[in-house]
Each structure stands twice: as structure tokens, then as C-alpha cells.
Amino acid sequence: MRKILLTGDRPTGPLHIGHLFGSLLSRRELQDQYESYIMIADVQALTDNFENPQKVHESVYEVAADNLAIGLDPEKVSFFIQSQIPQIAELTVFYSNLVTVNTLRRNPTVKAEIAQKQKLFGQDGESVTYGFLGYPVSQAADITFVRGEIVPVGEEQLPMIEQTREIVEKFHRIYNCNIFPIPQAKLSPGSRILGLDGKTKMSKSLNNTIFLKDTPEDTVEKLKTAKTDSERRIDYDPENRPEISNLVLIYSIINNIKPAEAITDLENQGYNSPAKGYGHFKAQLADNLNGYLKPIRERRKEITADPSYIKNILETGRDQAIAKAEETMALVRSAMQINY
Ligand code: TRP
């Protein structure tokens, strides 16, 4: 029997090249090896976007289109929308007894997200909702309702997987059963790129992204205004010169070479001369990136031309996920003695 893989995205906007290099490409590799489920985590997106239901609704289709456009195969992967699986909500309620409020407050990812909100919106700690604080519990339900074992994620998600393991272990201990595999994070081998402002990660809310669905012209414009420094010398030195190094990293990924080789390559092509500044390099990078994204963008256009295509995939995936969920719930209800 193949191991079960589950991962997902929050639908808060279309996916960008940070997602592509950081997680989507490795998902594509893994789909042949595991029984795979990919969730569009609308319930989780609503924990901090509950006032923006329209954004979440629209983004569900964007995220589905992006995942399909990069070559995830609906014949191999079950794609589904989180809110369509009531068993996830049900498990979340049961698990919430197994986690203390203090543990959630100390969760490093939750903490970082609260800090970012405070910085961006000037919110104080008092505005943190019960739902937001509890989303790691809900994420444990996301992973375990299919009895998922392999969870491909970025590093910032490790505390969520750790929380899931703790819940699973506690559940087994208290209810004297062994229903779930202990989930393992699978860190994607892909490189983590920064936003075009050189700050932290690419993120829609920071407006520093290149979306998969951007037009070639948008891509050229965005790279033109990408932040660099005043040294007029292209180098790969992420510690000291994060902005230009990030552009070199993108160049190296799409050309399938190492960053050091990218520098030599750019020097040989005459892009690294102080007289030229960064403009020529940025134009070359935009051109390469547009070439790299072309098949993805074309596929995406085909996919979105027929709205029923995505709809059908999400319905089939929902049915597959619910079948799996009911198997799990029978075991859970029996272990918890709520099988009346
Ligand atoms: N928290 C993940 C993110 O922000 C999305 C997500 C929701 C997820 N449920 C999941 C990832 C379950 C892996 C497994 O990207």
C-alpha cells in the first residue's frame, strides 16, 4: 500500500513563483509515489480573512488552476476544498480538547503571524480570535482525516506538523488506539526565494510577488522595479546583499544551474559590468522567466477557459476525500466511544 500524502494551500490569492519553486515543483515529483491529497484550505484562509469571503472564494479557483497548470495530474491527485469535508470540522472539535491554549500561544508560526499582523495593521494581542489561535488544531485535522503520513511543506510549517504529531500521540494514548500514522514533514528540496523587495518571503500581502498567471509584460515591469542596491555589481551573497542575490537565485533556478555558475554565466554574457548597472540583467532575467513560465501560463489559460473543468475535478476530489474521511471517522468514533 502506498503511503498517504496530504498538503495544501490557503486560498488568499493566485500562487506565485515562491510557491512554484518552494513547493509546487516538488509536489509534482511526489505525485507518482504517494496516494496524494491536495487541499485548498479555505477554512484556514478564513481564520484571518473572515471579513473577506469574496477574496477567499475567488482564490479557491485561482489556487486550483495554478496547481493544475504546473502539471499536477487530477488522475493521480485528489484535489478538494477544505470546507466541503465536514469531518475535518468534526475532528477539529475533538482535537481541541487535547491542546492547551498556552501551547497554541507559543506556536512559533502562530506567534510570527500575530507579530506580522501587529506590524501591518497595528492590531494588539487582544484582537487574536479563537479561530485563528486554533488553526494548528484544524490543520492537524486536515492531515489526519485521510490518515496522512507525508506532509510536504515549507520550513515555517514545521511547528504545525509537530503540533499534529503531539495531537496524534495524545489521541492514541488517551483513547488507547493506534489509528493514525505519525505524520512526517517533507521539506521541499526547492529553493526558497525572497520577495522582490528583498524582504522576507514572497507574499501577496507584501505586494512583492510574480504570479504564475501574470502576463509577460507584468513580469518585465515587476522585475524592473525589483529592489537592488547601489553597488552596481552582480553577486551572490545572500547574507549581505539579499536583494540582488535573490534575483541571481531565481536566474539560477530557471536555468538549472548553481548560483555561483549563474554569476560566471552572467559575467561571460557581459551583464555584470558596473557601467550597465542592473537593468540589463533584470531584462534578461524577465525574458528567461517568461520563457520558463510560458507552458504553465498556456496550460493555465486552457484550464480556466472551461469553468466546469476545475469544478468537476474538485467534486471528484471531494468524493474521494469524504470516502477516506468516513473510514477514519468510524475508527475515531469507536476509539472515543461516541459510536452510539
Ligand atoms: N498552513 C498551510 C500554509 O499556510 C496550508 C495548509 C492548511 C496545509 N492545511 C494544511 C499544509 C495541511 C499542509 C497540510 O501554507
CATH of residue 189's domain is 3.40.50.620
Dihedral (CA of 79, 85, 87, 92) sign: positive
Please report the pLDDT score of residue 257 as a whole number.
93
Residue 135 falls inside a structural domain: yes
First CA to last CA distance, the chain: 31
Distance 225 CA to ligand 1 centre (A): 31
> 70 and 178, same structural domain?
yes
The sign of the torsion formed by the CA atoms of 124, 125, 127, 131 equals positive
Cβ of 324 closer than 6 Å to ligand 1, yes or no, is no
Q: Give the sign of the dihedral formed by CA 88, CA 93, CA 99, CA 100.
A: positive
Region for residue 174 given its phi and psi (left: phi exceeds 0; alpha: psi -120 to 50; beta: otherwise): alpha
Number of domains in the chain: 2
**108 and 31, same structural domain?**
yes
Same domain, 15 and 119: yes
| The three three-digit cell numbers of residue 107, written as one number | 506556536
What residues make up the domain containing 14? 4-193+307-335
User: Which positions ≥6 away from 255 have C-beta within 8 Å?
Assistant: 262, 265, 288
Whether 254 and 130 share a structural domain: no
| CA 22 distance to own-chain centroid | 8
Query: Are the beta carbons of 262 and 251 closer than 8 angstroms?
Result: yes
Q: Using a 6 Å cutoff on CB, does residue 140 contact ligand 1?
A: no
Same domain, 22 and 155: yes
Same domain for 242 and 154, yes or no, is no
In tens, the pLDDT along 53-94 reads: 999 999 999 999 999 999 999 999 999 999 999 999 999 999
> Is any ligand 1 atom within 6 A of the Cβ of residue 10?
yes
Which stretches of the chain score pLDDT less than 70?
124-125
| Residue 119: predicted pLDDT | 79
- Asked if 76 and 218 sit in the same domain, the reply is no
Residue 154 sits in the same domain as residue 76: yes
**Residue 208: inside a domain, yes or no?**
no
In a domain, 203, yes or no: no
What CATH number is attached to the domain comprising 294? 1.10.240.10
Assess whether 65 and 177 both reside in one domain: yes
Whole-number Å distance, alpha carbon 10 to ligand 1 midpoint, is: 7
Residue of the nearest CA to atom 14 in ligand 1? Answer: 7
115: three-class secondary structure by DSSP? helix
Amino acid identity at 51: E
Please state, in angstroms and as integers, the Cα–Cα distance from residue 7 to each residue in 84, 301, 335, following that order: 16, 24, 26
Ligand 1, atom nearest to 139 Cα: 9
pTM: 0.93
∠212-72-294 over CA atoms, to 5°? Answer: 35
Question: What's the CA dihedral at 314, 193, 5, 13 to 10 degrees?
Answer: -20
For residue 205, the model assigns a pLDDT of: 80
Please tell me the distance from the alpha carbon of residue 25 to that of residue 327, in angstroms, as a whole number. 31
Same structural domain, 96 and 11:
yes
Q: Are 124 and 153 in the same domain?
A: yes
Residue indicated by cell numbers 494548528: 136
Q: Strand runs (DSSP E) across the chain, as ranges? A: 4-9, 35-40, 77-81, 150-153, 184-187
**Is residue 205 in a domain?**
no
- Pull the grid cell for residue 319: 468524493
Closest residue CA from atom 15 of ligand 1: 9
Q: Is 82 in the pocket of ligand 1 (CB under 6 A)?
A: no
Residues 293 and 314 in one domain: no
204 is a domain residue: no
Q: What is the pLDDT of residue 144?
A: 98
